[in-house]
Amino acid sequence: MPSLAYTRSGAGAPLVLLHGIGLDRRSWDPVVPALARRFDVIAVDLPGFGDSAPGQADPKALAEAVAVLLTELGVTSPHLAGNSLGGWVALELASLEPAGLGPVASLTLLSPAGLWKRNTPRYCRVSLRASRWLARHAAGPLSRLVTVGPGRILVLGQTHGQPARLTPGYARAAVQAMGTCPGFEATLAATARRRFLATTPIGAPVTVAFGSRDVLLLPRQSRYLDQLPAGTKAETLPGCGHVPMADDPVAVTELITSTAARASQAPVSR
């Protein structure tokens, strides 16, 4: 049995999708069909989320768990795309370069966590704890609310820039993922007093993008790019929130694809 739960579709160069805290691999569903026309897409449930059992919860340990899965699958030099916590994990994975995996081919970071000046901002921690509490203790009412557009705005307006456009099924899955994941508390605690610190040069092309409507990672608190490689391409996703994949699937697909294309234009150096 694989070490982590995942879904795999498409053909081409491997592309690994890593979700944010309180979510699971289903958060990538809006972009998987388009990406699967170009890549061998592997959407992963991080330890303690979705269908993956809990494990050590700090970002480096999460990256090591993903590396074990990719080794089991025989995947080498994958492209990585990560949202929120998944972006932090992607950076850690690129820095690890575990034996057998090889250097990653490219990194697309969508509203990545860990790019704060010192510790996780209090605002982020309080916001996430509130979302978790509501999803655990009011799952039924929230699931009914998101069947209509105004309800989706109320429930998912913190994380999505266009919540009324989400399908009710996607919205219910987001509420369920936040309310049921066993790894939430341990992961939030493990990231509270950390930030991403580069330890190994990353030679792969890197793109970092934040949604123009991201109200969880505020510009003055959570967007210090000093630890990212020189040459990192910074983008804005207009109209998108913290979880942009459902807000604008076309733009996110194009961003990942264009970052991957940069990898073929020049050799990866270390």
- Using CB atoms within 10 A of its CB, is residue 270 exposed (0-12), middle (13-18) or buried (19+)? exposed
Give how far Cα 184 sits from Cα of 53, 95, 133, Å. 12, 24, 11
Q: Give which of 195, 237, 194 is closest to 214, Cα–Cα.
A: 237
pLDDT at 256: 98
Distances (CA, A) of 225 to 78, 116, 161, 218: 23, 8, 23, 13
Q: Tokens for 174?
A: 């987001």
Global model pTM greater than 0.85: yes
> Which of 162, 149, 154 has the alpha carbon at shortest distance from 212?
162
Residues 91 and 112 sit within 8 Å (Cβ to Cβ): yes
In this structure, what token pair is assigned to residue 147?
């069947």
pLDDT digits (tens, 9 = 90+) for 169-191: 999 999 999 999 999 999 999 99
Q: Is 236 helix (H, G, I), strand (E, B) or coil?
A: strand
Residues 251, 64, 66, 38, CA torsion sign: positive
Antiparallel, parallel or unpaired: β 106-110 and 206-211: parallel
For domain 6-118+195-265, the CATH class is alpha beta
Q: For residue range 219-268, what is the model confidence (pLDDT) as tens digits?
A: 999 999 999 999 999 999 999 999 999 999 999 999 999 999 998 775 54
Q: In 3-state terms, what secondary structure has residue 221?
A: helix
List of residues 6+ apart from 148 with CB closer than 8 A = none
* pLDDT-above-90 percentage for the chain: 89
Question: Cα(22)–Cα(88) distance, rounded to whole angstroms?
Answer: 14
Other C-beta atoms lying within 10 Å of the C-beta of residue 7? 17
Summarize the confidence of residues 200-229 as an average pLDDT: 94
| Average pLDDT of span 190-212 | 94
Q: Which two tokens stand for residue 244?
A: 């942009």
